[in-house]
Amino acid sequence: MFGLTSALQYYLYNSPTDMRKSFDGLCDVIQGRMMRNPVSGEVFIFINKRRDLMKILHWEYGGFVLYYKRLESGTFELPVHRSADHSTAVYWPQLMMMVEGISLQSVRIRKRYLLTATG
């Protein structure tokens, strides 16, 4: 079954990506630049230089799934990130706002309980 949910972990690659890359090329970026495991079940988001193309790579049981979105007008707004990092953790609501064209800067996020590894 195809599907991305809020239960998954999402990582945005912070550098512009050549959208000619497919499964193997994106896996090389994940391993070599992001220092993550492409088959971990995490979801990896890539944006081109003009910010009008997005690819999302996800490992599901049995193989990779590649989602591709092209905007006919406008650009994807990206979350603020630390320049030294190659990737930024993105929450499901942020990804949905990016895809739907909602400004991430003007949204006020209310406090919610977040389960952490320490309790």
Cα–Cα distance for residue pair 115/104, rounded to 1 Å: 23
Cα–Cα distance for residue pair 71/89, rounded to 1 Å: 23
The mean pLDDT of the chain is 88
User: Looking at residue 118, what is its pLDDT?
Assistant: 57
67-91 pLDDT, tens digit each: 999 999 999 988 887 767 789 999 8
Is this model's pTM higher than 0.75 or not? yes
User: Looking at residue 2, what is its pLDDT?
Assistant: 59
